[in-house]
Structure 1
Amino acid sequence: MDHTKEIVQRALALIKEHGLKYTKKRETLIKYLADKNRYVSAREVHEYMNSVFPGLSYDTVYRNLHDFSELGIFEETDFNSEMKFRLHCSLMGADHHHHHFICKYCGKTKEIKICPMDFFQEQLVGCTIEGHRFEIYGRCEQCQNV
């Protein structure tokens, strides 16, 4: 079984574990994000899904993107006032805590292997950090001349 197929199967198993039913549309959505391997806008996902399933509403696509983010299947980020989604790193084999550099032009991501939270914890004596998100935005190598 190829790597993308394994990823899709893991994601579909998570959907089933959370009581959602399998549909070809959901499988196609997951496969699309697995193949892209970058952040994509809901609009871009809808355009693709509508080309495969004509008449599929934007609301349906967006609801599934959001629901799958809540289940840990997708990651979401907001830049330039637009939500973007990608397959969650844990489904792609990442088994360690990390953050991302995100290209603002093509959505490509690069893993950042250090976490600045140790520094912040030292600054917040008596406080408990319960979660965080750290992203760096810029231009990837391919988008330097855009």
Structure 2
Amino acid sequence: MEKELDYAIATMKDNGLKYTKKRSDILSFLINENRYVAALDVFNFMNNKYQGVSYDTIYRNLRDFAELNILEETELQGEKRYRFHCDVHGEHHHHHFICTSCGATREIHMCPMDMFQEQLPGCLIEGHRFEILGKCEKCLKN
């Protein structure tokens, strides 16, 4: 966790975001959760620690972290969800299975992009997202 947090703080500072204990606590929470969580979940965690923290402040920080590629974001059940970027150093390309109930994720170590590139001759693909949505074993048992 320390390596990930150090990287995120350095990225913040390199991009003009001031270090604060609250920002560090948001990031630590997301690193520890290791799943997609709603802004409300982050707000509830932070409000327990810092009474009266603003929901807008939490949401703005999540958006800023996502723009800096510190966080990944997706939409589940019509709501944006966030998780700490699991590949902050670009060490390995992968995709995710995401549980639509609890937000738990699993890495998928394959990419379907080679097939798509063959079907798009002459085009330049500049990025992609590939997520598989469903229920994890734990949620299926409950």
Select which of 60, 63, 74 maps to 1:63: 60
State the match for 1:29 in structure 2: 26
Q: Which runs of 5+ in 2 are unaligned?
A: none
Given the alignment of the two structures, is residue 88 of structure 1 paired with residue 85 of structure 2, yes or no? yes
Counterpart CA distance in 2 for 1:90 and 1:114 is 15
How far did 1:94 drift?
Answer: 6.4
Opposite residue 85 of structure 2, the aligned amino acid is: H
State the match for 1:42 in structure 2: 39
TM-score with structure 1 setting the length:
0.93
TM-score with structure 2 setting the length:
0.96
State the match for 1:73 in structure 2: 70
Paired residue secondary structure (2:87): helix
What number of residue pairs does the alignment pair up?
142
State the match for 1:97 in structure 2: 93
What's the CA shift string for 1:63-120, capped at 9, x where partnerless? 10010001011000012110000000123x7611110000111111000111111101
What's the CA shift string for 1:20-48, capped at 9, x where partnerless? 11101000000000110110000111111
How far did 1:6 drift?
Answer: 2.1
Opposite residue 112 of structure 2, the aligned amino acid is: P
Select which of 116, 126, 131 maps to 1:130: 126
Opposite residue 31 of structure 1, the aligned amino acid is: S
| Same amino acid, percent of matched pairs | 54
Aligned structure 1 segments of 4 or more residues deviating by more than 4 angstroms = none
Opposite residue 53 of structure 2, the aligned amino acid is: L
Paired residue secondary structure (2:141): coil
State the match for 2:110 in structure 1: 114
